[in-house]
Chains A and B, each alone.
Chain A
Amino acid sequence: MSLLEIENLTLSIGEAPILKGVELSVTPGEVMGLVGESGSGKSMTALTVMRLLPHLSRMAGRVTFDGIDILAASEDQMCALRGDDIGMVFQEPMTALNPVKTIGEQVAEGIRWHTRASRAEAEERARAILDRVGLPESKFPLSRYPHELSGGQRQRVVIAIACALKPKLLIADEPTTALDVVLQAQVLDLLRDLVAENHMGLLLISHDLAVVTEMADRITILRHGEVMEAGDTARVLSEQVHPYTRQLAQASVHVPARARADPPRKDEGPSAVPLLRVENLSRHYPGRRLSLFRRGEPTNAVDGVSFSMMPGQSVALVGRSGCGKSTLARMVLALDRPSSGEIRFRGDALTGKSEADLKPARRDMQVVFQDPYGSFDPRQKVERLVAEPLHVLETAPTRAERREMVAHALHEVGLAASDMDKYPHEFSGGQRQRLSIARAIITRPKLVVADEPVSALDVSIRAQILDLFAELNGKLGVAYLFITHDLTVARAITDEVMVMHEGRIVERGKTGEVLDHPQSDAAQELVAAAPDLHRAIARRLQEQG
């Protein structure tokens, strides 16, 4: 018998249809994967089950949970179900916890509410569940506040809250998307164990096909609010009968064809000047002030890093979150001052120069950020946004010239010239990332630093953006410093990879070699934790014999 049964669910919010005839079921002890790209209605399906939909939503169809008709249930009945029989884990561990309450209070809150347990009893149970999710009281007392925990630890607290009352159904909406691969693997393991222990049903929502394949017994693929294909994970993904399934699977493992006229110019001998040379670079942040005269140990975000890059070369910088990748990138871009060490760009030192002296270097060095939503001023039109770097040119272009250059850059990234009179909110995430790239290449830079440029994008969009990066690399001879925690991306687009761990570069080599035969512990850990679609499908098939 199914625990959760969704039949012919239709949902519209205002005038917009969100879900069209969705069918889905979860049995106890089963992991159901719900996959789709952004806007496909995954989260809305989950919120319907919780009845936490925004105002003006109209639902039709049938949703039954454990014999209760969810769509007809009263708010009181739902309050009794939420957090007790149905638990939910959200994507963003930073905002899913209340910053002014201790983790103990937050875990105990639901327990006290639903079981009417005394404070002491509830705390006892909170202690037990926090211990179970890997936050033992000896190291993480209940009196900790969320800001004292790391992202992965916070997500464990969120899971503890969701599982505190041993729910029959756990809904996890992109539970690991905000975490790096190593933490992702740990959290997924934890979820898998909890499901097995308590014989829970798990509805796992993700855009990452590899993650779902590793976790889910059955899979439902959603697109534009409609179920495209559903069934046994191994069968659906190995046979790939439905064209959309095939498209998703291919996009997940997409490797752009890198048509390059000339191979990396390493063979020009030692006389060639490297494009970028970083020597013994460090960045320390002063420790927290413990008292008036005492400070804690300083943090070494970047610790004695040296490397060099040749023109036109594409290098990946991979590492776990907090390993210093982004700090290093900012120093290379001269947005942050190093504590010690030297950066040379085309032979000229960048360190210790005034903003005016940096102009020539800035012209040849641009940046693409991760968040396609946060990297544009919402109040300016695309023309001004994309033209921003033109500021560093020696002679300011006239208005007409500027429009010409912007139009050209937009054309190069596959957008129309008429788009320059729009505002950024009129574009989708993928289009904005194209805008971001247009802004980066408008001055014809020699080096583009890309900080997680595709991790916020859907797989099919990601494949297109990776193609675009590869194409521009070939066409304009731009060198990339690609910062990523996603090894698939590193493999797809770079010649060399550097593995960073705790502020140091621990391994460097050809991308393929490092990723296939990692030498250092940090690299081995990353490679082992990275979800891989082919491997996951193979394992699934093997399990089933």
Chain B
Amino acid sequence: MTVPAQLPDDGVAKWIGKAFANRSFLVGFLITLTVAVVALVSFLWTPYDVTRLIIADKTQAPSLTHWFGTDHFGRDILSMIMVGARNSIAVALVAVGIGMGIGVPLGMFAAARGGLVDEALMRLNDLVFAFPALLSAIMITAIFGPGAVNAIIAIGIFNIPVFARVGRAGALSIWPREYILAARAAGKGKAQITVEHILPNIANQLLVQGTIQFALGILAEAGLSYLGLGAQPPMPSWGRMLFDAQTRMVIAPWMALVPGMAIVITVLGLNLLGDGIADILDPKSRRRR
């Protein structure tokens, strides 16, 4: 008998076509792209210099010269948002990366081994979880000194147990399925089964958790910056902008609204992107939309 010689047409072009037919992927992708472009552009050009303080121009309402107004030192908020985007996004992304990169394999390993190994790993996890994240981040930055890199590491460490738990719980629900038994009967080892069957089936849950942790990462960075343990002045960050605005909510509401909206839009964009990717990865949702 003959088999059609052509290999499955899962070409890159087709995949991209499919992706952009998905509305939430498209919108999420555009928002994320915009934020990324803004952050990149800030390296080359910003409307004003964010390190120059012009006290005479302080707390000006949005106008044609300052689109988003100025802060209490007279700095242009649009420029600060652009520069702050670098910092906030970098911290949150790398922190999620650390959490996923270490947490997911840990969770997979615990689920695959089971028994005492699982028990020990998860209790260790609980221990890390039990520390208030911000407190420990303060401890870490107190030991290694404040700065963006240490903030990333501190937030990243506290993402590890989150991903380990979600990963383990997802994996445990997949392991008893019959198709896993079938794979074992085919002589596949636990590592191979994890890569081939478990991970693709829990990718959805991990992606959703990833977008949540990203939003939390931005907020955690904001908290650390507020305490002076995140990015150091004069480097702006969305978080510190929010906290600076706190006491001036009544006289200069735009100081809070603009960075707040920036965080909301970025998180929304990433959530949509995550949803879209999850949809595209799921063969069953193909026919929808």
Q: Report which A residues bind B (CB closer than 8 A).
A: 330, 333, 335, 355, 358-359, 362-363, 365-367, 369-371, 374-381, 383, 385, 388-389, 391-392, 399-400, 403-404, 407-408, 411, 417-418, 421, 423, 425, 439
Contact = CB atoms under 8 A, between A and B. Distances in A.
Contact of B8 (A365, A377, A389, A421): A421
A383 B9 CA distance: 13
Interface stretch (B25-33, B152-160, B180-188): B180-188
Contacts of B3: 400, 403-404, 407, 417
Contacts of B179: 374-377, 385
Chain B interface size range: 20 to 34
Given A379-B281, A380-B197, A400-B5, 18 more contacts: A333-B185, A335-B185, A366-B185, A369-B182, A377-B183, A378-B201, A380-B196, A388-B182, A389-B185, A391-B186, A391-B187, A392-B187, A403-B3, A411-B1, A417-B4, A418-B4, A421-B8, A439-B182
Contacts of A439: 182
B189 interface: yes
Interface of B: 1, 3-5, 7-8, 177-179, 181-189, 196-197, 200-201, 281-284
29 contacts: A333-B185, A335-B181, A335-B184, A335-B185, A359-B187, A363-B187, A365-B185, A369-B178, A369-B182, A370-B178, A374-B178, A374-B179, A375-B178, A375-B179, A375-B181, A375-B182, A376-B179, A377-B179, A377-B183, A377-B197, A379-B197, A383-B8, A388-B186, A389-B185, A389-B187, A391-B188, A418-B4, A421-B8, A439-B182
Contact of B283 (A365, A378, A404, A417): A378
Nearest to B7: A399
Contacts of B1: 407-408, 411, 417
B43 to A, nearest CB: 40
Nearest to A393: B187
Given A378-B201, A379-B281, A408-B1, A367 B181 contact: yes
Interface of A: prevailing SS: helix
A523 to B, nearest CB: 29
B283 A423 contact: yes
Nearest to B188: A391
B186 A392 contact: yes
Which 7 A-B pairs have CB atoms at the shortest separation, nearest pair first? A375-B178, A389-B186, A362-B187, A392-B187, A423-B283, A369-B178, A379-B200
Contacts of A388: 182-183, 186, 188
Nearest to B282: A379
A270 to B, nearest CB: 31
Nearest to B9: A421
Contacts of A421: 8
B280 to A, nearest CB: 12
A383 B8 CA distance: 10
A377 B188 contact: no
A371 B178 contact: yes
A375 B179 CA distance: 4
Contacts of A335: 181, 184-185
A75 B179 CA distance: 43
A447 to B, nearest CB: 11
A383 B4 CA distance: 13
Given A367-B182, A388-B183, A377 B201 contact: yes
A454 to B, nearest CB: 15
B185 A355 contact: no
A355 B187 contact: yes
A250 to B, nearest CB: 31
A388 B282 CA distance: 20
Contacts of B283: 378-379, 423, 425
A304 to B, nearest CB: 25
A404 B188 CA distance: 22
Contacts of A377: 179, 183, 196-197, 200-201
Contacts of B282: 379
A370 B181 CA distance: 12
B178 to A, nearest CB: 4
A391 B185 CA distance: 10
Contacts of B183: 377, 388
A44 to B, nearest CB: 22
Which has the most chain A C-beta neighbours within 10 Å: B4, B5, B185? B185
A451 to B, nearest CB: 9
Nearest to B179: A377
B267 to A, nearest CB: 27
B277 to A, nearest CB: 14
Nearest to B184: A335
Contact of B185 (A367, A379, A418): A367
A330 B185 CA distance: 9
B284 A425 contact: yes
A379 B201 contact: yes
Contacts of A378: 201, 283-284
Contacts of B284: 378, 423, 425
Contacts of B5: 400
A381 to B, nearest CB: 7
Contacts of A423: 283-284
Nearest to A401: B3
A315 B179 CA distance: 24
Nearest to B283: A423
Nearest to A423: B283
Nearest to A368: B182
Contacts of A389: 185-187
A403 B189 CA distance: 23
Contacts of A363: 187
Contacts of B7: 399
A423 B284 CA distance: 8
B283 to A, nearest CB: 4
Contacts of A380: 196-197, 200
A230 B184 CA distance: 48
B187 to A, nearest CB: 4
Nearest to B180: A377
Nearest to B174: A377
B182 A358 contact: no
Given A375-B179, A377-B179, A378-B201, A362 B281 contact: no
B162 to A, nearest CB: 24
Nearest to B281: A379
B18 to A, nearest CB: 14
A374 B177 contact: yes
A7 B86 CA distance: 68
A377 B197 CA distance: 7
B187 A369 contact: no
B8 A381 contact: yes
Which has the most chain B C-beta neighbours within 10 Å: A388, A392, A425? A388
Contacts of A407: 1, 3
A67 to B, nearest CB: 44
Contacts of A358: 187
A333 B196 CA distance: 21
A201 B183 CA distance: 48
B114 to A, nearest CB: 13
Which has the most chain A C-beta neighbours within 10 Å: B7, B178, B187? B187
Contacts of B181: 330, 335, 367, 369, 375
B189 A355 contact: yes
Which has the most chain B C-beta neighbours within 10 Å: A359, A375, A404, A411? A375
Contacts of B201: 377-379
A365 B187 CA distance: 10
